[in-house]
Amino acid sequence: MTTDPAASRDAWPGLAVVGIDHRTAPPALRDGLFLTDEDLDALQATLRERGLEQVVVLSTCDRLEFHVVAADVSTAATLAGAVIADLAAARGLDGAVRPVARFGATALDHLFRVACALESRVAGEPQILGQVKAADRRAREAGLMGAELDAVLSAAFAAAKRVRSETTIGERPTSMAAAALAVARDVHGDLSRISLLVLGGGELGEIMLDLLRGAGVRRARLADPYPSRATFLSRRLGLPLAPFETLADTLVDCDVVVAAAGTGRVLLGRSEMERVAQLRRRRPVLLLDFGVPPDADPGVDDVDGVYRYDIDDLERIALQGRAGREAELAAADAIVAQEIARFRAARSRRAAVPIIASLRRRFDAERHRALDEAGADAARATELMANRLLHLPQAHLRGLAAPDADPDAMRAAEDLLRALFGLDDGTPSA
């Protein structure tokens, strides 16, 4: 397990995020660690057996992460990393997985950004917030949610709500998909007669599938290069599977291809699409390439009869320029920073509650004790109370002022007392 070099433990000493995502692990490895609902139930039981009491497991096509809160967070992160390593070994991936561990401020920032869809391959995609909430619900049902972790996730959900309501970043995926739908109608007209292939299950691919179904598409299939993910997506999206091994033959019968695998390698090459175009005998193919990076070779643009649009093309059609997108991302980043600051301030205030309550109890106890002893003599009662409350502070201050004591400690104590009680600077009056 590797540790994020920028890790800081000052925001929440007991918080860690351990796992892999699309930036730290290749697609084949992420697919090998993909978890079904049944897998998640078993994994949560394992985490509980290992002694982790507060942990949320987030499993998507792009990430497997454990969000952990513990008193001994280093040990908890090591345990979480060991569970991932055991899972990898059981699936024949032993030694290939190097989960990243983030702590404190870095972990808090990462968790918020994940919930706000700022760590997704397509910023603003709508699925991730629902996936984080589903992971939260599973943790509660498994008895793995505590007050501290609940506070973090609730604050992250509040940040995500603000990002969606106060910026247009969440509209970006939908507007691009709407632009793609308009292109599909321009190319094929009546969409109820077309045949659709969904290649991979990325966020924009799912949005596009919903729009095309709403526009009348009835014949649709799914292909994916990774078997476990293909089976899961086929069941979740309600699409029959087309074998990836015979993708070239499947493409011949497809009028629209929605490519959203994002494997990092070319799945649709120029020569392959030239053959498809030739066999289709001038029937056009619309290739909507939502892969990040693209799933199709840019050379496909030169193939007659194949119309390829990638994310940049569709974003231009949707009239969302780069400057506007970057401004919205900056606004979303600012909201996340504000909500993290709000969360940390609230947590700091709560941390002071026990000592404040203890101080009040001590003052009340001494007040009642002084009144019991002095009776109706108010001056005597207040004198007794002041002497008793000042006794221990005076003794400690004399100790700090001793010749062999640390002078910095005395200055710090003086500064604290002046701030707490509104004292003057100690200069004798005229």
Name residues whose C-beta falls within 8 Å of residue 3's C-beta, 6 or more positions apart in sequence: 100, 101, 102, 103
DSSP per-residue codes, 258-301: EE----SS-SB-HHHHHHHHHHHTT--EEEEE--SS-SB-GGGG
61 has catalytic annotation: yes
Cα gap 204→126, rounded to integer Å: 9
Q: Which pairing describes strands 2-3 and 219-223: parallel, antiparallel, or unpaired?
A: unpaired
The structure tokens listed for 12 are 């929440």
Q: What's the order of all strands across the beta sheet hosting 100-103?
A: 2-3, 100-103, 15-21, 63-69, 54-59
Alpha-carbon distances of 37 from 328, 392, 419, rounded to whole Å: 35, 59, 54
Cα gap 379→409, rounded to integer Å: 35
DSSP 8-class letter at 20? E
Q: For residue 417, how many other CB atoms are within 10 A of its CB?
A: 14
Cα gap 87→422, rounded to integer Å: 58
Sign of the Cα torsion 408, 413, 414, 415 reads positive
Cα gap 50→105, rounded to integer Å: 25
Catalytic residue among 35, 47, 58, 61: 61
Using only C-alpha atoms, what is the Rg of the chain? 30
Residue of 88, 10, 80 lying closest to 46 (CA atoms): 80
Measure the N-to-C terminal CA separation of the chain; round to a whole number of Å: 66
Q: Which pairing describes strands 63-69 and 15-21: parallel, antiparallel, or unpaired?
A: antiparallel
Cα gap 101→181, rounded to integer Å: 41
Catalytic residues: 61
